[in-house]
Structure 1
């Protein structure tokens, strides 16, 4: 009996202390909707709440700024280079932008499919617009050429690098992607015409051409953005 009492005195207080320590640890973990999961637990984003895991709501400024800057430099390089007879220099600049983007992509295969698949659709749309007379590629006005196809494929691919980062704001806003394409597309082609890369018709025909370009971009841009959302939303690898 005395031995049993000694054992109880030695073990029960220790067990009680262990239970109290466990209770303190549990109390230290915040509960409720704002509770943070442990670091070693994988975080999954519910499809209807992209802001909880960073796949659609958390802004990371450095990747965003670099993404926009890289695309702008590639676009200006292609447009200005083609206007002054250095189209291949612009293509090389755009290729470098895409390569750097892929170098830091968390999911290279998915992003390559997104970027190059969308670029293939985009350059096909541009080729159709050239064939139907919506605009002319000034350095090679006699029709489609390898230079034209390579240049516009490179520009579309550079645009595709923005779908995961810079265009993420439109993932849940299809109207934003459509509006951006509807307005930004014609403005970009009008700027390219002013620089001397393409030639638009004169008079009222110019406005019809710009309207066609706006419709093309107004349709393709939100579709491309939705493709990116479906591909990256829920992976936690949006940026």
Structure 2
């Protein structure tokens, strides 16, 4: 239980560092949190592939949303900002820990994704100056639908990319 609480608190601290700090030195705080997670809560051998896979998937999803005009950032780039990529890494650190309870049954993850996903984007957007050109309600509803599918997918990735126990 203390490990899950530490994981949740570290995630929240990292979330604020990314959202408020943007592409500044505050990213070192968030990166440090990922390192602390891998040193004291888990290990790179156990979660490295998961973290990298979630960052790749999240970057692809959010960059596609950016390209479709759902998000408007202050910078001009084809991909999402680095701080948002790091947020995906932080989210990956929670899947087998503080958010593991939402993995089964699948609808718990779907429900959490439908509610918490859009709320996180809304709060993060307000703090980081991200615009929703289609308006807040259509964007949040669309994000809720997307995250109701995406979060169970992330849990499936966490299961599939789990370290295999060797039979030595």
TM-score (norm 2): 0.87
Gaps of 5+ in 1: 1-60
* Contact 1:193–1:199 (Cα < 8 Å) also in 2: yes
Paired residues, number: 165
Q: 2:4 aligned with 1:68, yes or no? A: no
Deviations 1:11-55 (A, max 9, x none): xxxxxxxxxxxxxxxxxxxxxxxxxxxxxxxxxxxxxxxxxxxxx
- 1:172 paired with 2:108, answer no
Q: CA deviation at 1:231?
A: 4.3
Q: What CA deviation, in whole Å up to 9, does each residue of 1:113-161 have, x standing for no partner?
A: 0111111100111111111111111x31x3436xx43211100000000
Structure 2 residue 42 is matched with structure 1 residue 144: no
Alignment of 1:41-190 (within 5 A): 61-82=1-22, 87-137=23-73, 139-140=74-75, 142-144=76-78, 148-190=80-122
Shift of 1:214: 1.8
Q: Deviations over 1:80-134 (max 9, x none)?
A: 112xxxx222322221111111113555223000111111100111111111111
**Greater RCO (Cα-Cα under 8 Å, separation 6 or more):** 2
* Residue 188 of structure 1, CA deviation: 0.9
SS in 2 for 1:199: coil
Are positions 1:227 and 2:157 aligned together? yes
Q: TM-score, normalised by structure 1?
A: 0.63
Q: Is the 8 A contact 1:79 1:197 kept in 2?
A: no
Q: Which runs of 5+ in 2 are unaligned?
A: none
Does the CA-based 8 Å contact 2:72-2:131 persist in structure 1? Answer: yes
Q: Distance in 1 between matches of 2:55 and 2:145?
A: 17
Give the alignment's Cα RMSD to 1 decimal. Answer: 2.2
Q: In 2, distance between residues paired with 1:106 and 1:65? A: 14
Structure 1 CA distance for aligned equivalents of residues 26 and 62 of structure 2: 18
Query: Secondary structure of 1:110's partner?
Result: helix
The alpha-carbon distance between structure 1 residues 97 and 211, as it changes in their structure 2 partners (threshold 3 A), is same
Partner Cα distance (1:65, 1:210) in 2: 28
Which of 132, 138, 151 aligns to 1:200? It is: 132
